């Protein structure tokens, strides 16, 4: 079974105004460029025989998935397990408010949580549980539209890397890039096939 892990298109930058306390995340919409990226992604994947599209329930991921589903598929299935890493208070307060926490966190020597938020292991736990649920559906190929931080956590989990190593992966994970993961049911092993592929976005103006 193949999973296409897709980062959402470019979105409005995080701010106090678009931070959702109930979702514990910035929740801004796609920009005009983000919509172009999603359209290019949809065109590229037209012949990919994707059986189902899942997405984070945050607006930027849901909008990207909706574009992906416009022509050939049912509506995307939204899932909170694919939501971006919960950055806690660091999502809407400067790191200077957390000098002691930041001193350790910035070294990336441990899988430390954001102040009041999640660490990488917690993200991988919820993400991998959702993957198992999807696998039970018997699909051959599924797209999951999610977030850069989540994709990094997933790759570390799949490869058995310490979660703090995720900060060495994809700087950045590109908007609307594709990371392909293959799961072998016989061996119950995941393999990373492609990481951060954004060639299909060539020509979209910066």
pLDDT reported for residue 188: 87
Cα angle, residue 79 at apex, residues 192 and 118 outer, rounded to 5°: 75
Higher pLDDT, 203 or 197: 197
pLDDT per position as a tens digit, 64-111? 999 999 976 789 999 999 999 999 988 888 899 999 999 999 999 999
Cα-trace Rg, the chain? 17
| Rounded Cα gap, residues 43 and 24, in angstroms | 32
pLDDT reported for residue 73: 72
| Rounded Cα gap, residues 114 and 112, in angstroms | 7
Domains of the chain with bracketed CATH: 2-201 (3.40.50.1240)
| Rounded Cα gap, residues 105 and 186, in angstroms | 39
Residues 29, 59 contacting (CB under 8 angstroms): yes
Among 40-49, 66-75, 116-125, 169-178, the minimum mean pLDDT is found in 66-75
| Rounded Cα gap, residues 55 and 1, in angstroms | 18
Q: Which alpha helices (H) appear in 50-201, and where do they start and end?
A: 59-69, 99-105, 120-135, 148-159
pLDDT reported for residue 205: 84
Kindly state the helix (H) or strand (E) to which residue 37 belongs, with its residue range. Answer: helix 32-44
The closest alpha carbon to 47, from 200, 190, 155, belongs to 200
What phi, psi does 25 have (nearest 5°)? -165, 155
The verdict on whether omega for the bond into residue 172 sits within 30 degrees of 0, i.e. cis, is yes
pLDDT per position as a tens digit, 33-67? 999 999 999 999 998 999 999 999 999 999 999 99
pLDDT per position as a tens digit, 146-165? 999 999 999 999 999 999 99
Q: pTM score, two decimals?
A: 0.95
Residues 62, 74 contacting (CB under 8 angstroms): no
| Rounded Cα gap, residues 80 and 157, in angstroms | 19
Band the pLDDT of 144: cuts 50, 70, 90.
very high
């Amino acid at each position: 079974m193949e999973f296409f892990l897709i980062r959402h298109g470019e979105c409005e930058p995080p701010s106090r105004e678009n931070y959702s306390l109930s979702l514990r995340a910035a929740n801004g919409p796609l920009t005009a460029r983000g919509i172009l990226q999603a359209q290019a992604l949809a065109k590229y994947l037209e012949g990919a025989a994707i059986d189902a599209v899942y997405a984070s329930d945050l607006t930027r991921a849901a909008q990207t998935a909706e574009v992906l589903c416009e022509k050939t598929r049912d509506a995307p299935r939204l899932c909170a397990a694919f939501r971006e890493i919960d950055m806690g208070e660091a999502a809407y307060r400067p790191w200077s408010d957390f000098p002691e926490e930041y001193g350790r966190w910035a070294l990336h020597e441990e899988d430390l949580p954001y102040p009041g938020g999640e660490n990488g292991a917690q993200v991988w736990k919820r993400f991998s549980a959702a993957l198992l649920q999807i696998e039970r559906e018997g699909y051959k190929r599924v797209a999951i539209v999610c977030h850069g931080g989540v994709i990094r956590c997933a790759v570390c989990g799949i490869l058995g890397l310490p979660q703090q190593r995720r900060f060495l992966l994809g700087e950045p994970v590109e908007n609307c890039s594709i990371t392909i993961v293959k799961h072998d049911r016989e061996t119950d092993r995941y393999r990373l096939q492609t990481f951060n592929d954004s060639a299909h976005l060539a020509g979209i103006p910066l």
